[in-house]
Structure 1
Amino acid sequence: MKVSLVLASAYGMRGDVRAMLNLATALSERHEVEVVSVRRQKEKPFFPIGAKVAMRSVVDARPGVRHLLPRGQMRTEMALWRMLRGLRADVVITARPGIGVQVARHAPRETLKIAREWGRPAVPGPVQRLYPRLDAVVTATESAQEEWVRLLGGGLDVHSVPDALPGGPWPRSRMDNRIVAAGGRWVSVKAYDRLIRAFAIVADKRPDWRLRLYGGGPEERRLRSLVGELDLHNHVYFMGVTPDLAGEFAKASIVANPSRSEDLGMTVLEAMGCGVPVVAFEGARGPREFVATGYNGVLVPESESEAQHFAGALLALIDDERRRRSLAAGALDTAVRHSAEEVAEQWEKLLSDLR
């Protein structure tokens, strides 16, 4: 079976990109798999991808590359239309509503067409109008599945298959380093500012613990300024961007996820794959799907005293090594259900049923 996965860009540092590349790698063990990147901005993807996965791009936007068509959105749409009309695949899986709409319009009728979705589309009109031409929507969580069922009003089958973690072996935390870690894009919705404020409380009571922040983004200058304002230079460290976030999480004893709203939860799963409990706010859907207080981490209620409550959850784990290790065991058990092999088998069964 030939499977094509179409992404807006396979070269970015996003949770949905990570999830789709993991899926491509898992499926490539038994199928012919290609990843089609609508835009290519770099030489190599930020995240690793299996050697058996073929890669191609619709528009090569790397500096210095010449283009036959004029630049801009028109060029991209025309190139995408041509690619989809000539697609030779048994299955095509898209990663964003904008691409799903184009696949619904232009992909060959005989190709099985699936939209992979995590959250509700920002502009639902085109989705509601054109997605019934697809064969299915597949969400990563049950709550997203319920949203899409309501959105499409029964006009299309909606299934749920979890995201896959990369294949093992995974690094394992020894749970003895006095480190709290967090990772992802430094954008306002990820709310690293409130994690830093919470850690100021932690550092005051447990000055031997450190916070390591992995990633990058437009919020970096503001976050660094906040660290200086709170005099946390010796407690909070900006570690930069890394494609091996799991390897860094394995050096920590707690992973924090301070996201304010919707979050894919890939960093949560990666932390659990390393056997590290996660502390997160319960308002963010991604963490809420995976974190169970008392089993593999702690969910902190949203409140006006969010920094104090989050700091309290961190301190409770810092001061109780036995509880940390118990939650770490639950985290590992959760991660098993998201193994590449397990998720690939679920996808294979779904594709077989749909065909």
Structure 2
Amino acid sequence: MKITFLIHNVYGIGGTIRTTLNLAAALAERHEVTVVSMLRHRARPRFAVDPRVRIVPLVDLREDAGDAADPRLRRPAEVFPGAERRHKQYSVLTDVRAQEYLRTSDADVLIGTRPGINVYLARFGPPGALRIAQEHLTHDTHTKKLRTQLARHYRDLDAVVTTTEADAAVYRRKMRLPGVPVLAVPNSVPDPGLPLDGERAPVIAAAGRLVRAKRFDLLIEAFAPLAAAHPDWRLRIYGTGADRERLRRLIEEQGLRGRAELMGPVSPIEGEFVKASIVASASDAESFGMTLVEAMRCGTPVVSTDCPLGPAEIITDGVDGRLTPVGDKAALAAALGELIADEAARRTMGRAAARTAAERYDPAQVARAYEELFTALAGTRRSRAWRRRTARWRTGAGRALRRLRG
């Protein structure tokens, strides 16, 4: 089977890139897999790419590339939806290249990995291929305008796949897609290949984009009383982003210089997680929670806010980690303090976390779930097409009747 993923920019850094490459590598065990990158800005991807996976860039943004002189690169995209967050990075040239590639694709399965790309898939994907939209954000994070645009195009696809069951339920409730199943398949995280039973430093680690929604400020404030009570413990935050300077000032204000540190971006992050005793997340919202699973695969217990939508589907509170109410600094500090004070509990939770992550999120397991989906979609193609046609007929008839009544 030929399987093609379409991604924004495989040459960058991000959770969608990481999980797409993980899944592509797992599927490459039995299939011919291609990753099509809408954009390219450097010579090689930052993440390791399985040699069995072919990378195909469509628009090269490098100054010495021929695309840099194409006037279509400076004209705003007309097909890529204007309400999509990445619209400014897309152009008429991207529209044209996406259309050319998809119209001539011989893939059996095409998988888009962000809303605007899924619109390309609906508009230009060959009807003989299974066309699947992945949702790496969430339904409710999109604007109303974008959701309206997506609903119109997603009706032409074969399936919509979210990363959590909670988000799949929102799509089923709020976006009517006759003949298009909406289901949840989690992101995959591979075995880090690191020893999990070594010595752990008295460190609480956290990682992610330094933006307000990640609430690293709450984590720093929750750590302040713990730092006073446990002088050998440290907080290390990995990542980069617009909130870095504000967080640096907060560390100073809390008297945590040398105790709480902004470490900058590190990839892969597992090498740091496996040395830490606890990994923490204080986010207000998560579409999935990749860092949680990465930490669990390292045998490191996670303390996370029980935010929408991912953590509660990943962590079993008190078994392989802890969940605390969103925005509750005292509860976050208490959960961290309990684990700091109990090494045996940390190790027990860490072992349980490693088992959970291996059973649910190993790339081979997730790849099997996708293979089962492909088989199911191929077997129901005719019945789903009939449901779509019937729904469209009813919609058209309803509109005609309303016009007559008017």
TM-score under structure 1 length normalisation: 0.95
Q: Please tell me whether the aligned partners of residues 236 and 263 of structure 2 are also in contact (alpha carbons under 8 angstroms).
A: yes
| Cα distance in 2, alignment partners of residues 111 and 343 from structure 1 | 21
Structure 1, unmatched stretches of 5+, are: none
Q: Which runs of 4+ in 1 moved over 6 A?
A: none
Q: CA 1:173/1:248 → structure 2, altered by over 3 Å: closer, same or farther? A: farther
Q: What is the alpha-carbon distance in structure 2 between the residues aligned to residue 27 and residue 167 of structure 1?
A: 16
Q: Distance in 1 between matches of 2:223 and 2:214?
A: 16
Counterpart for residue 148 of structure 2:
125
Count of matched residue pairs: 353
- Secondary structure at the counterpart of residue 6 of structure 2: strand
1:334 equivalenced with 2:356 (yes/no): yes
The equivalences for 1:4-153 within 5 A come to 4-67=4-67, 69-70=70-71, 71-72=73-74, 73-118=91-136, 119-120=138-139, 121-122=142-143, 123-153=146-176
Alignment counterpart, residue 299 of structure 2, candidates 245, 265, 275: 275
Structure 2 counterparts to residues 155-304 of structure 1, below 5 A = 155=178, 156-167=180-191, 169-172=193-196, 174=198, 176-303=200-327
- Using the TM superposition, give the Cα deviation of residue 65 of structure 1 relative to its aligned residue in structure 2, in angstroms: 2.1
Tell me the distance in 2 between the aligned counterparts of 1:170 and 1:94. 32
In structure 1, what is the Cα distance between the partners aligned to 2:287 and 2:154? Answer: 23
Judging changes above 3 Å, is the alpha-carbon distance between structure 1 residues 260 and 142 closer, same or farther for their aligned structure 2 residues?
Answer: same
| DSSP-derived class of the 2:304 partner | strand
Tell me which residue corresponds to 1:320.
Answer: 342
Q: Distance in 1 between matches of 2:191 and 2:346?
A: 25
The residue identity in structure 2 corresponding to 1:183 is: A
Contact 1:173 1:276 in 2 (8 A): no
- The gaps in structure 2 that reach 5 residues or longer are 75-90, 379-406
Q: Shift in Å at residue 175 of structure 1?
A: 5.8
Range with bigger deviation, 37-46 or 24-33: 37-46
Shift of 1:251: 0.5
Tell me how large the CA RMSD over aligned residues is.
Answer: 1.6
Inter-partner Cα distance in structure 2 for 1:74 and 1:126? 19
Q: CA deviation at 1:171?
A: 4.2
Higher strand share: 1
User: Are 1:350 and 2:373 an aligned pair?
Assistant: yes
Structure 1, residues 308-339: CA drift from partner, whole Å, max 9, x if none?
22111111100011211121122112111211
Identity %: 40
CA contact (8 A) 1:171 1:247 kept: no
Asked if the contact 1:7/1:17 (under 8 Å) is kept, the reply is yes
Amino acid at match of 1:237: E
Q: Report the more deviating stretch, 63-72 or 317-326.
A: 63-72
- Distance change in 2, residues 1:152/1:191 (3 Å): same
SS in 1 for 2:232: coil
Residues 159/175 of structure 1: CA separation in 2 closer, same or farther (3 Å cut): farther
**What do residues 180-206 of structure 1 show as CA deviations (whole Å, max 9, x unaligned)?**
101111112111111111111211111
- The question of whether the paired residues in 2 share the 8 Å contact of 1:272 and 1:335 is answered with yes
Deviation at 1:178, TM superposition (A): 0.4
Q: 1:83 Cα shift?
A: 1.9
Which amino acid is 1:281 matched to?
T
Q: Any conservation in 1 of the 2:112–2:133 contact (CA below 8 Å)?
A: yes
Larger RCO (alpha carbons 8 Å, 6+ apart)? 1
> 2-side partners of 1:245 and 1:37: how far apart?
24
Q: Tell me if structure 1 keeps the 8 A contact 2:11–2:46.
A: yes
Shift of 1:88: 2.1
After TM superposition, give the deviation of residue 286 of structure 1 in Å: 2.0
1:144 positional shift: 1.5
Query: Residue 181 of structure 1 contacts residue 211 of structure 1 at CA under 8 Å; is this kept in 2?
Result: yes
Larger radius of gyration: 2
Deviation at 1:166, TM superposition (A): 2.2
Superposition deviation, residue 154 in structure 1: 4.5
- Given that residues 181 and 256 in structure 1 are in contact (C-alpha distance below 8 angstroms), is that contact kept between their aligned partners in structure 2? yes
C-alpha distance after superposition, 1:199-245 (max 9, x if no partner): 11211111110111111111111111211222212111222212211
Amino acid at match of 1:32: E
> Residues of 1 paired with 2:19 and 2:149: CA distance?
25
